[in-house]
C-alpha cells in the first residue's frame, strides 16, 4: 500500500510542478490525476492487459481514502460557521447570484448545443424531405413527440 500512496503523492507533485511551471490556472492535483491516468494507460499498453487498468494496491488505497472523504469537509464547515455574520449579511445575495449564474450557464450551454446541432445537420437538397437527426433535440423521436 505504501507504493500506491507514493504513486498518488508523486503524481500530485508532478501536477503541481507542471501547473506552476506553465502558469496554468488548473489545480495541481487535477493535473496530477491526468498524470496518474497516463501512467495507468502506459502500464496497460506495456503489459497488454486490457481487463485491469488500476492495480489492486491503488484500488485498495483509493477505497480507503474515499471512505474518509467526509472528514476533509470539516475545515470548510468550520470556515462557514466562522463567517456566520458575513453570511447573514450577504447570504441572500450569494444565493441569488449562484442561482442566476447557474440558470444563465444552463441557458447558454443549451443555446450553443442547439447551434452546433443545427450546423452538424447535412445540407438539404431542393425539394428533398428534411432529414431527421438521430440525436434529435429534447429527446423527441422521429414523429416529433417525446
**Confidence check: pLDDT of 135 > 60:** no
- Same domain, yes or no: 61 and 80: no
**Where is mean pLDDT largest: 19-23, 81-85, 139-143?**
19-23
Q: Where among 67, 88, 110 does a domain terminate?
A: 67
User: 13-37 as b/e, with b when 16 or more CB fall inside 10 Å?
Assistant: ebbeebbeeeeeeeebbebbeebbe
Residue range 122-145: mean pLDDT, rounded: 56
Q: Which domain holds residue 54?
A: 1-67
- Same domain, yes or no: 58 and 84: no
Q: Is the pTM of this model over 0.75?
A: no
Q: What is the pLDDT of residue 104?
A: 97
Amino acid at each position: 500500500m505504501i507504493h500506491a500512496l507514493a504513486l498518488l503523492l508523486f503524481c500530485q507533485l508532478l501536477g503541481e510542478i507542471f501547473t506552476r511551471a506553465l502558469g496554468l490556472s488548473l489545480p495541481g492535483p487535477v493535473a496530477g490525476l491526468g498524470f496518474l491516468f497516463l501512467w495507468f494507460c502506459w502500464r496497460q499498453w506495456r503489459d497488454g492487459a486490457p481487463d485491469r487498468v488500476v492495480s489492486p494496491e491503488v484500488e485498495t488505497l483509493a477505497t480507503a481514502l474515499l471512505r474518509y472523504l467526509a472528514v476533509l469537509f470539516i475545515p470548510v464547515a468550520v470556515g462557514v460557521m466562522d463567517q456566520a455574520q458575513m453570511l447573514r449579511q450577504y447570504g441572500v445575495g450569494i444565493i441569488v447570484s449562484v442561482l442566476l449564474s447557474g440558470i444563465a450557464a444552463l441557458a447558454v450551454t443549451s443555446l450553443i448545443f442547439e447551434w452546433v446541432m443545427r450546423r452538424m445537420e447535412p445540407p438539404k437538397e431542393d425539394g428533398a424531405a428534411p432529414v431527421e437527426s438521430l440525436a434529435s433535440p429534447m429527446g423527441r423521436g422521429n414523429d416529433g413527440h417525446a
